[in-house]
Structure 1
Amino acid sequence: MQGEKRIAALWLPFWPIERLYRDLGRRHPELLERPRALARAGAGGLRIMACDNRAKASGVEQGQPLPDARALCPSLEVHPADSKGDREALQRIARWCIRYTPWTAADPVGRDGEPDGIFLDITGCAHLFGGEDALLREVRSRFEGLALTIRCAIASTPGAAWAVVRYGPHAFSIIAPGGEADALRDLPVAALRLDKPTTSGLMRLGLKQAGDLYGKPRAPIAARFGADVSRRLDEALGFEREPISPDRPDVLYRASLSFPEELTQIAHIEEAVLRVADGLCKVLLREQQGARRLELLLFRVDGEVTQFQAGTGRPSHEAAHLARLFREKLAQAGDDFDAGCGIEAIALICVVVEPLSPMQGGFNENEAHLHDLERFLDRVSNRLGRERILRLEPRSSHVPEGAVADVPALNGITPAMRGWQMHTQEHRASMMGGTMLRPLRLLRMPEPVDVVAEVPEGPPRIFRWRRIAHRVVRTEGPERIAPEWWRGNKQQTRDYYRVEDSEGRRFWLFRDGLYFRDNEAPRWFMHGVFE
């Protein structure tokens, strides 16, 4: 059963109006006793966008002009519709449903063009809640606690689940694998997620139920209504695949924890994070994987989800370290952290993982210090921001300012970072071959200097930098660096000199251009200082 593809479709038939009155009714309880509706501008003026059962009993219908609705129900309580707010709130509810399965997504089709449902891919997840029946009871209880009306159906295809949950006779249904054709047979053709013109056209031809399309020649139907009719029917019956694409990255490893009583204190939440991190790290160690980027989801009782993100510079499977990163995130939130009425579940998700590399411990103190430094960088980067703590990464370039680049410290050991060893070896080889040593400290931008040289292309003898004159007593060079023409650089040929002044200070200067080749009077620049 766990290997069978199973999809749960949730439908919130009164979602827009219940979302509004869930908060409004707390402040004005008397409004809950009146017929309620939402209206928005449409053809010919304001029209009813959603209404509750009391309004429907009085004859109010969706799409009806507001004056006609008020004539049928004078006590109708009307508020403006907020379609954008409804979509955003539905996305939050879909994230809240991650507690049941990592694969959740708001229904992109909805009904009458307005999203009002959620898809859950519960393949391999239902047994964690005691089976599909127990899962349905859990979902029903949770949404009733949120004061939201819900219908739910489980089937082997999204199309069948969508059809049964909206047009089926029962609010909660489970379609056995392979029973999709029988379940859809007596449902109207609108249950196949077809647009209104196509639905009306099929009904005029006498094809009023989905079962009426079974076995019918497809060519005439496709010629008149397009390929959507056959495609939607095949998707519902399982002959054509229909993947669910959540608006989230793939979940590689995940651990969750539910609580019999809600957590409201930060200390209790931190302890729960440590416990769930310990369970996740045991799985990572068994798989020889390390976490690089993680998300912590805190599921509140009121249906909201609080999310925190953290990253590491190297793959990690240390529960205490990962928990500390999120403990600092909670502390950083401070008074802005809102647990609502309490946290009823948490989930820790690995968004990015990398294989663990073997490390030798106990023989080299430098390795231990490096490990401590990396953990410190993780904490500081997550506290101050990923883009604020940088490290240098080598680049394949002989031009000094292009030989390294600033990258976030949490980028970890990239292939370019592994080039440091080759970079160092080449540097040492150049020293043995007589090439000049380069300074460790470079100026952010080369600064112009005034130079007096013995001959036009000779080394400097006197130079002025930052209004101070320096008399050169020793020089070494030049080191010539040609422009990287293959990169499209427009720089000129440079001749670098290492010089020492009369007070023992050493500098790195270069002449930009060659006499009688690049320009008539090349300029000199200061590029670095030796410590």
Structure 2
Amino acid sequence: MKRVVSLYLPNWPTDRLRRRLAGDKAPAADTPLIVVGRDGAKRLVTAADATAIALGIRAGMPAAKAQALVAGLTVRDADPVGDAEALERLALWIFQRVAPIVAADHPDGIVIDSTGADHLHGGEVAMLDGLLGRLAMSGIEARAAIADTWGAAHALARHAARPTFIAPPEHGADVIAPLPIEALRLPPPMPGELRLLGFERVGDLLAQPRAPLALRFGPELGRRLDEALGRSAEPIEPIRPDELVEVRRVFAEPISAAETIARYIDKLVEALCASLERKGHGARRLDLICQRVDSRAQAVRVGMARPISDAKRITRLLCDKIETIDPGFGIETMTLCATIAEPLDARQAITSLIEEVEPDVSDLIDTLANRVGERAIYRAAPVASDVPERSVCRVPALAPDTGAGWPDAWPRPARLFLRPEPVETIALLPDHPPASFTWRGVRRRVQRADGPERVFGEWWKRNAELAAVRDYFRVEDDAGERYWLYRAGDGEDAASGSQRWFIHGVFG
């Protein structure tokens, strides 16, 4: 089932302007900002940020009226060409990180064919949350929706997403029926004319026979309805940077058998690897796009932990994804491109008979990452912090060693909880370990204990940690299980902590 993401940027001109004017020239975050353009001799507001909208300014309002309405309004000239170019650059950024089929949806959006790519990001919910989160960190307000068609996703992103909306697969017409008729991407005069006839919602149009509507409004209305419902194809023309390395195969007769697809994948990979090797590059991410005879595209994306140009290895990774390709009535074009290519590492061949060869696990990592997602394959790395939950971070599986070491003064548990869990204990204050503790409804009697290990708060990060103290104990219960518990506070001063007990980890 095809899935499409529509990314809506409601304040794109003003958000881009704030980013471009970063620094001393940028208006304050709480200062209303508008962009003004010309319509003949008139100066009209073409875009307004959230602060200006909250004060009553709307696009299409005369600029003089907006300045009279709001004191201290910041006014900038419109730059539609710059907005369009920046939107293309943002689409390219998303193309390199999210999915193989991405295009700018001018003037204020981006469309993404996420079919088969969401699992690489932890699912559709995680994919949207991650995308919107990174845009928010860059100062760009965005809303997003996922649906089965471009038209439905476009409508939901602009009229239902708060800030996201994920329509169920095979949702049909019910999901767009309650939306206003403006959601159908109709030419500007048409929604007003439809409202004069009493049509308010998309569902009102769906309930009417098509012939009278086509006679009155032409074929555009029916085409938009069919595109939103998936009855007619609306292909996405993906963005392609000039420096992209890609190879293509056009078939005289459409192909559909898995064995035939695998055979041509092998040929495409050999041609692509030859092109990459001439540049001294290896592929880090590859996209295989299969264009079907019904104008629908099937895309497969695979990633590698380090740049490679091994044709057999790349072919195997792509062929593992053949089962996700729906050829429909046949594939007429196959395109393979290196979305991310990097210089190959120069490695000296080992000639010594006694020198040990370092095992290469990158092939295994690539296989696992393309099955369960890149985020699921990682390595724990130490961070310079005394606070246990801050002393570890996730890095890519083959990330270079930073040289940082793990603390060796006191052992740490094999399993550290994301959040410490409260426990009920019986313990003597201030320095004694608990005699027993109750965790998850089970009471455990402590047979052996070691500690305390005192950990102080990082006062340079938060004022609340100026006097914070934790006393950690390693304890073993009567069943031989070992746990890592701590008391919040030093057992005497209330300012050092709540004096409550928590379990923070479990030893192997």
Closer, same or farther: CA 273–174 of 1 in aligned 2, 3 Å: closer
Once residues 274 and 12 of structure 1 are traced to their aligned partners in structure 2, the CA distance between those partners, rounded to angstroms, is: 32
Which of 84, 88, 94 is the matching residue for 2:85? 88
Question: Which of 92, 97, 119 is residue 94 of structure 2 equivalent to?
Answer: 97
Q: Distance in 2 between matches of 1:135 and 1:273?
A: 19
Give the aligned residue type for 1:183: V
More helix by share: 1
Give the whole-Å Cα distance in 2 for the aligned partners of 1:273 and 1:286. 9
Size of the alignment, in residue pairs?
279
Q: What RMSD in Å do the two structures reach over aligned CA positions?
A: 3.0
Separation in 2, partners of 1:287, 1:60: 52
Distance 1:33 1:273, change over 3 A: same
Residues of 2 paired with 1:274 and 1:61: CA distance?
48
Whether the 8 Å CA contact 1:255–1:280 is kept in 2: the answer is: no
Secondary structure at 1:276 match in 2: strand
For residue 216 of structure 1, report the CA deviation from its aligned partner: 0.8
Spell out the pairing of 1:88-127 with structure 2 (5 A cutoff).
88-98=85-95, 99-108=97-106, 115-127=107-119
Change in CA separation of 1:274 and 1:232 when aligned onto 2, cut-off 3 Å? closer
Q: Partner letter of residue 188 of structure 2? A: K
Instruction: Spell out the pairing of 1:338-487 with structure 2 (5 A cutoff).
Output: none
* Aligned with 2:285 (options 234, 239, 256): 256
Identity %: 38
Q: Is the 8 A contact 2:214 2:222 kept in 1?
A: yes
SS of residue in 2 equivalent to 1:39: strand
Determine if the alignment matches structure 1 residue 153 to structure 2 residue 182.
no
CA offset at residue 230 of structure 1?
Answer: 0.9
Q: Which among 199, 224, 235 is matched to residue 232 of structure 1?
A: 224
Shift of 1:241: 1.2
Distance in 2 (alpha carbons) for counterparts of 1:127 and 1:85: 34
Cα gap change, 1:216 to 1:285, in 2 (>3 Å): closer
> When the two structures are superposed, what TM-score results if normalisation uses the length of structure 1?
0.49
> Structure 2: 5+ residue runs without aligned partners?
241-245, 249-267, 270-282, 287-302, 320-334, 349-508
1:45 Cα deviation from its structure 2 partner: 2.1
Give the distance between the partners of 1:156 and 1:285, measured in 2 at CA: 30
1:214-293 equivalences in 2 (<5 Å): 214-248=206-240, 255-256=284-285, 275-277=306-308, 282-284=313-315
The residue matched to 1:33 in structure 2 has which SS? coil
Q: Corresponding residue for 2:57?
A: 60
- Residues 301-358 of structure 1 show CA distances to partners (whole Å, capped at 9, x for unaligned) of xxxxxxx8x9xxxxxxxx668x99xxxxxxxxxxxxxxxxxxxxxxxxxxxxxxxxxx
Equivalent-residue separation in structure 1 for 2:305 and 2:312 (angstroms): 10
| Cα distance between partner residues in 1 of 2:164 and 2:318 | 39
Q: How many angstroms does 1:196 deviate by?
A: 1.7
- 8 Å CA contact 1:155–1:180 kept in 2: the answer is no
Distance 1:236 1:294 in 2: 29
Q: Deviations over 1:431-451 (max 9, x none)?
A: xxxxxxxxxxxxxxxxxxxxx
Query: Cα–Cα, structure 1 residues 274 and 280, in superposed 2: closer, same or farther, change >3 Å?
Result: farther
Candidates 107, 116, 131, aligned match of 1:139? 131
2:73 maps to which residue?
Answer: 76
Asked if 1:174 is matched to 2:166, the reply is yes
Q: Give the counterpart of 2:18 among 16, 21, 43.
A: 21
Cα distance in 2 for residues equivalent to 1:119 and 1:32: 28
TM-score (norm 2): 0.51
Match of 2:32 among 32, 35, 46: 35
For each residue in 1:233-271, what CA deviation from the matched residue of structure 2 results, as whole angstroms up to 9, or x when unmatched?
A: 1110111111111132678777439xxxxxxxxxxxxxx
Taking the aligned partners of 2:3 and 2:336, their CA distance within structure 1 comes to 29
In the alignment, residue 138 of structure 2 is paired with which amino acid?
L
Supply the distance in 1 between the matched residues of 2:317 and 2:28 (Cα, whole angstroms). Answer: 56
Instruction: Structure 1 unaligned segments of length 5 or more: list them.
Output: 109-114, 258-271, 299-307, 311-318, 325-531
The CA distance in 1 between the partners of 2:64 and 2:223, in whole Å, is: 40
User: Which secondary structure does the structure 1 equivalent of 2:51 belong to?
Assistant: helix
Letter in 2 for 1:256: R
Letter in 2 for 1:100: V
Aligned equivalents of 2:310, 2:140: Cα separation in 1:
33
Q: Which amino acid aligns with 1:275?
A: R
